[in-house]
A and B are shown apart, each in its own frame.
Chain A
């Protein structure tokens, strides 16, 4: 995992100062983000944080109102063929032409991608347990996601963009199919960019994570770095207080009386020393899950 997203590798997605407004609502606010080639990039954020808006800019479905978006060093709006031909995309609402049958969908999609791998498409069809004669309209939400994933994967894209890929998938499919596919693609040296609100899933597969909140990137770092830099530390103070004593580096805290639990970001030693300097003793220390880190970041 640690080799992925090396800063020295080629940037595959470069977003600079991107702002997007829908009437009065600011969906993206001067957002900048770089995704390097290789590995799994997880984009997490609450509802309405701007995840899908950002993805739609990357795909050229939104034109930047200000700022710039480059994918493979190309403008996705000006050069949709150059960009989209190298991307596989699964949309959040699993938008597919309902009137087609699955085998028609595969044949239609094949025409657009010179690198289409028919053997791989058949393999995925079997793995996903899709009936080629079934109408897309009659597929369940999970089957629909699998059909969408099939056409997104079969041309072996350099960049796979998945918008809430787990939505509608049962836990088994999520773990066995989606997880393994994402890792396989990443291990192939290709890039996966996916958004999700299922943080345990992101934690399991992502090499790098960005948290988007109110249209801005709040945190963008490697998964290992994030987990190492965020800790929960419980201090016992000499005196009981109604409010938590302030310690530099605090993201959030809760507790009462003499015992307060802090979530910190940064150098753990410095944080611990800062607590001890105001007369507190460390009672407990623990690692955080991505879920806890996200909550601390967003609500703290």
Chain B
């Protein structure tokens, strides 16, 4: 019997050869970017901002690494017909994934400590990651999920993450110190939680294995019925669609475009609810609102990460085949073989590739604007509430960009979402993972050289690297537009408008540049401006590449 876990490990290593490093890198990119930027400012390790960032980034990195592991492991239901007891099945699945996640978190934190000179705790977060993995197993392992079952099973996770927060201070207040060392009580708590969730998973999988569905909440059913009866008419007009473009925009929005605003709405709402709870429990409205305000501002940067994940979804052109076999969209995001290729249904709709690409891009634009709008509205509302609570008129904005931070977060989310969705549109996303891995490694090397402060090394390596990347992006943009124009995918009038937009972005960025900006900064600005318009050429080309193989 000892061969079965070995077989599962082998399967995980083969299936995960791309998703595991890919999602590890994806999860660590944003923290690395931000820490690299902060290293230029010589932020002290004991600065509360670094402590907060550690606590914010930890679950994000954990989540993205977990996606890679889920993709590598595959569905548990594929093993239902094998002669293995449910408890063993759950144990092998849970323990191997938990161990791997703990190792990934340990490596991520070790790298951050090594590259940026921090002393972030490793043992506690790694053990917590393994426990959180076990807590997620009841959801990960079942093949039938409803939103109500999701809520019931996921609720204890909120407590678990609050407990994690309490290791850095108290349950609801601002963190005060790092979680170090891990006490015996902490270790026992984590072990007990993991054990409890193991048995919960076994119970859930036992039901799932014999086809018993998770109980559904009647209240939820009622809500769904109401939505079906009333809300649907708002989404689908009773009249036929006026054009195929309208039909396709509806198609793109329904299952994909809506994800980004919903995620942002949920995250922002969670922050607001937690703040209100803290104000009710502890008082001191001004301080708590200020914390929320700062958190929301930090969230402006995280919008780009969420936009990247949403971009994977928005750019997907797989239709029903994927979902027919598995029901969790997030798992589909990571499985290159099933997820990538354009479905037959979409591929045989009688529209041209440019129309298709524009429907996806307009969905991405709508999705980004609505998500950003939620965030910006709540940010403004919290700022006003702070003023009413006695706070000073002191907009807490990054000093370098001030109010331009707001449009920058919008533009950043747009650039990330549309360029990642374009990669997905090609139906060959796994080919780009290699490029991503190489870029990530190069970025780490460059950031550590820049951090070293050695001006000679910076001039010799970092500057040429940044020049090369920027020139590559700009040249790639020009080349993509040349090809797209030749294939009638981009009209001359659109090309003129986009060129104007890129010039405008460049001009604004140059006007706002720091006084002592290095020359390479100009090239980076032009490259960024190119990235804002690049998807208008690459999206139809990517669709064509996927559709006509």
Residues of A within 8 A of B (CB): 59-63, 77, 80-81, 83-85, 87, 89, 91, 93-100, 104, 107-108, 110-113, 136-137
Contact = CB atoms under 8 A, between A and B. Distances in A.
A99 B255 contact: yes
Contacts of A107: 236, 240-241, 247
A84 B345 contact: no
Interface stretch (B63-71, B107-115, B128-136, B315-323): B315-323
Nearest to B352: A81
Contacts of A100: 254
B391 interface: no
6 smallest beta-carbon distances between A and B, as pairs: A111-B247, A84-B350, A85-B350, A91-B344, A111-B241, A95-B344
Interface size class of B (residues with CB under 8 A): 20 to 34
Interface in B343-365: 343-345, 347-353
Contact of B241 (A96, A99, A110): A110
A61 B547 CA distance: 6
Interface of B: 236, 240-241, 243-244, 246-248, 250-251, 254-255, 319-321, 323-324, 343-345, 347-353, 547-549
A20 to B, nearest CB: 10
A89 B236 contact: no
A190 to B, nearest CB: 17
A58 B521 CA distance: 50
Chain A interface mostly helix, strand, loop or mixed?
loop
Contacts of B350: 80-81, 83-85, 87, 112-113
19 contacts: A60-B548, A62-B549, A63-B549, A80-B350, A81-B350, A83-B350, A84-B349, A89-B348, A94-B320, A95-B320, A95-B321, A97-B251, A97-B320, A98-B319, A99-B254, A107-B236, A107-B240, A111-B247, A137-B320
Contacts of A84: 348-350
B547 A60 contact: yes
Contacts, number: 91
A84 B250 CA distance: 21
Contacts of B348: 59, 61, 84, 87, 89, 91
A61 B243 CA distance: 24
Nearest to A61: B347
Contacts of A104: 236
B240 A110 contact: yes
A95 B247 CA distance: 18
B167 to A, nearest CB: 40
Contacts of B246: 111
A96 B320 contact: yes
Given A83-B350, A93-B344, A97-B345, 13 more contacts: A59-B347, A61-B548, A80-B547, A91-B348, A93-B321, A95-B319, A95-B321, A98-B324, A99-B254, A99-B323, A108-B250, A111-B244, A112-B247
Contacts of A62: 548-549
A83 B352 CA distance: 11
B344 A81 contact: no
A87 B549 CA distance: 19
A108 B246 CA distance: 9
Nearest to B238: A107
A153 to B, nearest CB: 14
A112 B351 contact: yes
B345 A95 contact: yes
A112 B350 CA distance: 6
Residue of A60, A96, A137 with most chain B CB atoms under a 10 A cut-off: A96
